[in-house]
Structure 1
Amino acid sequence: MSSDRRPTTRRSLPGGLLATLLTCLALLGTGAPARAEGTPAAGSVTTVVDALRTGPVYVDPAFAAAVTTAQQKELADRIAATGLPIKVVLLPLNKGDAFDGKSKSLAAVVNERLGQPQLILLTNDDYGSWLTGTEWPTDTHQTRDSAAAVGLLKELKDAGLAARVGRAIDLIGSGKGTEVYRAETDRMNREYSARPHNDGAAPGTSSGGSPTGPVLAGIAVLAVLVAAGGYLVVRRRRAPRHTAFSFPDAVFAADLAADEAGLRRQAAAEVLALGEAVDGADGATAPGLARALDAYDAAGRVLDGARGIPDLAGVLALAAEGRAALAAEPRLPLCFFDPRHGAAGGRTEWRPLGRRERVDIAVCADCDRALRTRRAPQVLAVRDQGRTVPYFEVPADRSLWAATGYGSLLSGPEDTLAARVGTGQFSRTRQRTADAED
């Protein structure tokens, strides 16, 4: 592995990479539109909350084409007809904004600022295309399932955002959100089971060298999973069995609107921070320094060659691997389903329906909770040969990330993401993908 990238103890970061990272951060951080001082920005906390105090629907100007003024009035009328304290907030979310790019943070802030003892809130998800539902103090009106169900209904497959919000409001008002959600997941399970599948193929492979499972152009209704026998972080104590569920179209389609520039900025910052940590480490007290150096080197290489969100997520996974090496303590990799979820909180087993083997994976708390309640975790989706698929459905010989599950599927302590990048696997799989797309 080349040494031109590697910081050494008490030595500054390599000038070329440092300059590249700082330039990347500077360029990606520019371009915010100016506004008059003292004027609340569209989508700011104050703007959203003030609007909700006078009406039940807030739609950011960025969503004006998707939910027109007339449609907003119609949604307000439907909310009034339910007699429930429903509020709707639709606005773009980006890393570093007032809500840190998270729909959960948006919901929590709105609830706190409104100060209502009872509140039902419908918002777009982190990427702006689909819905999440939250209710306080408890989910009495099945808000969560109502929001999830609209992403599964066949009649809403090509519907706009306003129609989806309207149906969610109706389901909340009827109290049938859970019933509809379960009926739709059962339907999707039956439809998936009725189609041919490849038995015995490992994640990321297929007998014909192409992604497994049925895929429709631009959407994916793939991976009906059955997971069993949960494991906690180190001791892998037994946990309740997981039941079957389906990944809805929405889980994958949401990624089409993901903020690649924001993720690139985050990845650059992670590599820079890891480099500084390595630079300040003492080899005498940090036995994992050599591995951290490898991870830093590999993360820089992947960042330099990253072609999109999957590679940038790989940079995050490599940076986490480097931090774990410096800490010299066992740490789980980032979440298998999507490294952007952050560090895993435990391990569990899952297997896609139609396959024989179960695979031990690291999952974040949200994904683990989704599995246990028969919900679909939000999965990193990728475009592969013109189709949208979960990243782990790409053949392993064309994706380092599918082959390793961003660290979850590594074979042992000596098998690391950094080592695989160092032996050229990242470059080779990228080339195979390019050849397959030609």
Structure 2
Amino acid sequence: MSTDVRRTPTVLAVLLLAVLTGTPTHAADGDAGPSPGQRIADALRTSPIYVDEAYADAVPPSRRRQLADRIARTGLPIKVVLTPLTKGDAFDGDSDVLAGTVRDRLPEQRELILITTDDDFSDSLQGYEWPADTHQTRDAVAAAGFLDEMRDAGLADLTAKAVDLVAEGKGEQRYEEATRDLDGPAEQPSTKPASGSGTTPRVLLWPAVAAALALLAFATRSLLRARRPAASVPHVVFATARAADEAAVRRRAEAEVLALGEATQSAEITTTPALQDALDAYAAAGKVLDEARGLPDLAGVLALVREGRNALTDTPAHAALPLCFFNPLHGQAVRRTGWRPLGRRERLDVAVCQDCDQALRNGRAPEALTDTDEDGRTVPYFEVPAGRSAWAATGYGSLMPPSAGLRGGVY
């Protein structure tokens, strides 16, 4: 499929965007105002805690001030977002989408630790950290919900404990300690006859009891694995364990494109020198999303959105870090490094996330996003001939801007 992205006059593009989104180029008094994600981000610029009205009683103003003071004492860039998540809402009921949306609307905050409500369990929290999980935030926040002392705790107390565990920096250890008893072997029942029960030993009941306990242990382990995010995943927005979930990535891509459209529409022509580039990236992302055939294309949508975001903030090309070269679903890169593809002499300058950078330093092959080559084999996407793949040609922004590869007519 060929994608030809052509530049259009700035004014025409703004007007077209207004028509497509069904809103005027400048918000009028009394309109719907900023999106939920933007409202949350704006609130977090003045306070480290955002509490939706639905949780106003659970976390009253006095507790919010206490939490804010607690966060300030840690010296860490911690933000808290407590809002209900329901399928079909602005975040599709997904805490990952919520976290990624808030992260993208706080571009000035390179380092961010975010604690949010959970999408699956109303009495739990989720933890995210950028650019890497340096403070073991995911495990620390997950551990808070399993502590015995938190069994009947309210949302404010649970959040306070999560903040403390993040500040401690031992999330993985705390999570293992908090869940150890839930995954332990069942205690063997006594084989002695029960008093007054004649000679019938209790051991006769053991097979049935053992089967029930084994089933319970299996269910518990499954629940823990489902609830516990991978501790080593660095990004916004998507854990490697979820990368194979194409539907989830597509939902995220749709939310990202919509958010870029809103940001582009609200940008002022006079104060945004690269607005046309942002508009081009937005148009390209929308087109690729409509025609996406799988994860590589959906990752391309996210790369185009990142390009558009960089254009809006007028980030210099040499300072703009794209998504991770090896797997853009890992999130935004943290540095650039030299890498020599297998069987080639030249080294490439690629952008990498924390995990992929560590893999290279340890002599291991980073986990790469895969695609299908002309022979139908599943290979790392960058091994597909550049003439057949805009993503292989551009490295999702590491080798050249993603939109430049699309202008070459390759998709």
Please give the range of the TM-score, normalised by the shorter of the 2 chains.
Answer: 0.3 to 0.5
TM-score by length of 1: 0.44
Structure showing greater radius of gyration is 2
- TM-score, normalised to structure 2, is 0.47
